[in-house]
Amino acid sequence: MAHQCVVVLIMKERYFDDVKVGDRFKSEPLRVTEKEVIEFAHKFDPQMFHLSRKDAERTIFKGLIASGWHTAAMSMRLFVRTLNFAEGAIGLGVDELRWPNAVRPDDVLSVETEILDVRRSRSRPEHGIIRLRNVTTNQRGEVVQTMLASAMVPKRSNGR
Amino acid sequence: MAHQCVVVLIMKERYFDDVKVGDRFKSEPLRVTEKEVIEFAHKFDPQMFHLSRKDAERTIFKGLIASGWHTAAMSMRLFVRTLNFAEGAIGLGVDELRWPNAVRPDDVLSVETEILDVRRSRSRPEHGIIRLRNVTTNQRGEVVQTMLASAMVPKRSNGR
């Protein structure tokens, strides 16, 4: 008789108190599909190098590439799932957002997060503010996006 | 006998040569729907204040809000359609991306673009580089996003 084994992974929720300057986190990989690149472009960035493989061949990219905003959104997905802050991380701002290499269909992206600074929130004592750098790379280790960000995340209260 | 009148609007394509420092452009309005806010969140920013109206009530936002990356993507759509650069505008980088007010379902967004700087591209003589500020506002005139960006756009050649 076969036994079915169900493994349920419950991701640990993180709080402000759980991170410190210098901590690094590496995300899971995420494969980029041509369908999603084109779908995102139709909705949000309708330019020829994002919309159609054929038209994109005639551009300076010589092929279809993902919108930088699509790369940013995919990177956010990877960041959110990796850090997994309880109640969520509230984005306060982003600086120096760069796309040094193009993202193409079938690329496999991952994000590495480094905590640059942690401080208490003056206006919201139950939250802390973290400053971080997110670097998104493809399957060849080429950097496709870098950014600095500040986010407000909850502190662990006595009750939890 | 009724006459059918079909008006076809062909948007003028813009080149580097067509913009100068101080020029301002105002986009069309875009209504944000709850369905799209939730759909974007499921794909890219799965946090409770973006995912479900009910769960979002219990957060500090007291209701569903759009991901900042969704606001950025919608703002890109409005910018691209308004400026309509021939062959597209290639994003080189974004600075000081901020979300001073939350975007909620049924908000109506529009983007105002100001050209801050224009210069030739050293590496690509057939292109120029523009520096711009995009400000996204809602129907009450509240600013929901500000950013600075640099983009590479094509120069008008003699042939066109």
| B64-77 per-position pLDDT tens digit | 999 999 999 999 99
Q: pLDDT tens for residues A128-141?
A: 999 999 999 999 99
| pLDDT given for residue A142 in this prediction | 98
Residues of B in contact with A72 (CB under 8 A): 69, 72
H or E element that contains B57: helix B53-57
Q: Residues B150, B151, B152, B153: is their CA dihedral positive or negative? A: negative
**DSSP helix/strand/coil, A110:** strand
Specify the pLDDT at position B157: 78
CA distance A72 to chain B (A): 7
State the complex-level ipTM.
Answer: 0.91
Confidence of residue B5 (pLDDT cuts 50, 70, 90): low
Residue A113 in this model has a pLDDT that exceeds 60: yes
| Token pair in block for residue B64 | 């569903």
B contact residues 36-95, partner A, Cβ 8 Å cutoff: 40, 43-49, 59-60, 67-70, 72-74, 76-77, 80-81, 87-95
A94-98, A138-142, B3-7, B8-12: which has the minimum mean pLDDT?
Answer: B3-7
Rounded Cα distance, B142 and B50, in Å: 20
* Helix H or strand E segment including A65: none
Å between A21 CA and nearest CA of chain B: 22
Note the pTM of the prediction, 2 decimals. 0.92
For residues B82 and B102, what is the distance between their CA atoms, to the nearest angstrom? Answer: 23
Best interface-test mutation with A: which of B27, B45, B148 has the largest number of A CBs within 10 A? B45
Closest Cβ–Cβ partner in B43, B48, B98 for A93:
B98
Tell me the chain A residues in contact with residue B44 when contact means C-beta distances shorter than 8 Å. Answer: 73-74, 76-77
Residue B78 above 50 pLDDT?
yes
- Band of residue B55 on the pLDDT scale cut at 50, 70, 90: very high
Q: In chain B, what percentage of residues exceed pLDDT 70?
A: 91
